[in-house]
Amino acid sequence: MPLPLLAVAVLGVLAAGYLLYGRFVARQYALDDARATPATTRADGVDFVPTGRFYLLGQHFSAIAAAGPIVGPILACQTWGWLPCVLWIGLGVVFVGAVHDLTALVASVRHGATSIADVARRHLGRRAWLALTAFIWLALVYVIVAFTDATTGTFLGNVEELPDGTSFHKGGGVAAAATLYLTVAVLMGFVVRRFAPRTWVLSAVFVPLVLGCVWLGTVGDVSMVLRFGPTTWYVVILVYCVVASMVPVWALLQPRGFLGGFVLYLALLAGVVGVLFGGHEVRQPAVAAATDGFGKDLFPFLFVTIACGACSGFHGLVCGGTTSKQISKESHCRPVGYGAMLLEAFVALIALSTVLVLSPAEVKGAKPGAIYTEGIARFLAPIVGGGQAAHDFARVFAGMAFSTFVFDTLDVATRLGRYLLQELFGAPGRRGALVATLATAAVPLGILFAGGGAAFARNWLLFGSANQLLAGLTFLSCAVWLRSTGRRCWYVLAPGVFVLAITTWSVGQHAHRGLASLLAHGLDLEGLNGLVATAMLGLSAVFLVEAWRATRRLRAGAPPPAA
């Protein structure tokens, strides 16, 4: 089957989804630019910063488009073939994932740019808020575990001896390019803060600098500098997360998101050129029979494996944690919320394409990061030309694009974990922020040191399960809010029930397997995951009970519980 035909069909579904269903959902919320947003009424220059639509779209897209839409589709295609992946990515994002993101963003903006947990507290009560806050923090821990491990994988590799006699280390080159890219982002943040230049000037100056960072990563001597083992990278990445989550958003989060958006756009452009004009055929089976033991069943594990490529609860945290504090007009919610999720599905399509152009022999046993890097490098070949230097540039760019996807989410996840712990324990101020940030980063580091990095696939399934179970709980919170305001909520409740059913099934299997391992072998990583899965199920049950009680109160005409 020609790859361009498949890609055009999926793109047509995404475009129709935005123009038709996205407009229908947005209309339900009566978005009104005359209504002041929290970013304008509470502007403080640190967290509440009114931001232009295009600038914010790039930042939000960078924050949500992490390893999920890349690793997930590749893993799923390796396991079940490409057809189930295409169906869930295309239809799931239009009717489930993008609706979730838009609804979470509007709900947060309408509630003063608070978190989804706080929205639940106002409409479901304190017990629901406590349960959801604890669940979200556990989910964020596994987001950080999975994405730190994925980022570390792009920084590793072997020294290659090139034909010209020089040495090159692809992982070191990616690490160098990523480090230089973050430095350029910090510089841009201070330029914006001091001089406030126009967006096109920033793009014209700093985007070429980012490409220069990629080129420097291909220089043999530079690529040989940052060669560390996985343990060192775990520490370095999480220290970065602590620092990045403490500084003001203008100093790193906004400029890094803006520049990261261009990196992602360039990666997408390379994918489009390669998919549409590279002459590639689909070389993978449409449907395959999974052979792995745990996690081989299409239901429920296809959905949680693809994860953020179709629906992600983490996106609701970004919407309510950082993006809602920067929405300057309510009409921006649709392109930023619904539109960015469709862009993430496009990322998932490109990631899926990188495995489709490889032969089954090339894919067998390969890790998703390596598959993505090789596929993007092949897509870039018609653009950058032949030769060793061009090939090295393509590989470093693909690796840096992958790490950029992940980095942009890692520090946002750490910042959100800090917000949650400060809110939960009532610890405002810089000291409370530092303690909460250190706690959020320390637990993932402990899991990785305990062997989490050696169980990537298993951790990924638990991450995906927790992530989408969180999406189901977010759907439920927003449905109760909509009912309390007299609005229809079927378009939120229906996908929420589906996601809750699938993910409860998946988390239940993790809990069963983990608790069995705990009884047989004691507290190892499998047992720890079982305990976490069990805790997630218990917290979800508490939340569901409170949601049912809130619905009954609404039917009886009683006021909402005291927050």
Q: What pLDDT, in 10s, does the model give residues 21-73?
A: 999 999 999 999 999 999 999 998 878 999 989 889 877 887 787 778 999 99
Looking from the CA of 468 toward its CB, the CA atoms found within 13 Å total 36
Q: In this predicted model, which residue has the larger pLDDT, 392 or 201?
A: 201
Q: What is the pLDDT of residue 437?
A: 93
Q: Report domain extents, the chain.
A: 3-278+295-556
- pTM, entire model: 0.87
Of 22-26, 62-66, 77-81, 141-145, minimum mean pLDDT range: 62-66
DSSP 471-528: HHHHHHHHHHHHHHTT---HHHHHHHHHHHHHHHHHHHHHHHHHHHHHHHH-SSHHHH
User: According to the model, what pLDDT value does residue 556 have?
Assistant: 81
Rounded CA gap, 304 and 445, in Å?
A: 23
Q: Would the pLDDT of 554 be above 70?
A: yes
DSSP 396-456: HHHHHHHHHHHHHHHHHHHHHHHHHHHHHHT--HHHHHHHHHHHHHHHHHHHHHTTGGG-H
| Residue 229 pLDDT greater than 60, yes or no | yes
Per DSSP, helices labelled H in 199-286 are: 199-217, 220-223, 230-246, 253-277
pLDDT at position 120 is: 94
For 91, the token pair is: 């239809």
| Close Cβ partners of 322 (under 8 Å, ≥ 6 residues apart) | 47, 63, 249, 253, 412, 415, 416
Say if residue 562's pLDDT is above 60: no
497: pLDDT confidence band, cut at 50, 70 and 90?
very high
* pLDDT at res. 61: 84
Q: Give me the pLDDT at residue 422, please.
A: 87
What single string gives the DSSP state of each residue in 16-80?
A: HIIIIIIHHHHHHTT--TTSPPHHHHS--SSS---B-HHHHHHHHHHHH-SSHHHHHHHHHHHHH
**What is the C-alpha to C-alpha distance for residues 171 and 256, in angstroms, rounded to an integer?**
21
Q: What is the pLDDT of residue 322?
A: 84
- Per the model's pLDDT, the better-predicted residue between 443 and 268 turns out to be 443
Percent of the chain scoring above 90 in pLDDT: 52
CA distance 315 to 107: 13
- Cα 540 to Cα 409: distance, rounded to the nearest angstrom: 24
**What pLDDT, on a 0 to 100 scale, did the predictor assign at position 539?**
97
- Per-residue confidence (pLDDT) for residue 453, from 0 to 100: 57
* Positive/negative CA dihedral, 527, 529, 532, 533: negative
Residue 287: C-alpha distances to residues 77, 278, 298, 371 (Å): 9, 24, 11, 19
Q: CB neighbours (10 Å) of residue 183?
A: 12
pLDDT tens digits, one per residue of 288-319: 887 666 778 999 999 999 989 999 998 998 89
Average pLDDT over residues 476-483: 95
The whole-chain average pLDDT of the chain stands at 89
CATH topology of domain 3-278+295-556: Amino acid/polyamine transporter I (1.20.1740)
Instruction: Please name the amino acid found at residue 342.
Output: L
When pLDDT is averaged across residues 496-500 and rounded to a whole number, the result is 97
- CB of 306 within 8 A of CB of 73? yes
Residue with tokens 């509470």: 42
Which pLDDT tens digit goes with each residue over 171-222?
Answer: 898 899 889 999 999 999 999 999 889 888 999 999 999 989 988 888 878 8
pLDDT at 560 over 70: no
pLDDT band with cut points at 50, 70 and 90 for residue 454? low
Q: At residue 426, does pLDDT exceed 70?
A: yes
Alpha-carbon gap, residue 422 to 416, rounded angstroms: 10
Is residue 563 over pLDDT 70?
Answer: no
Torsion of CA 465, 494, 136, 529, to 10 degrees: -20
Closest CA to 245 of 117, 418, 405: 418
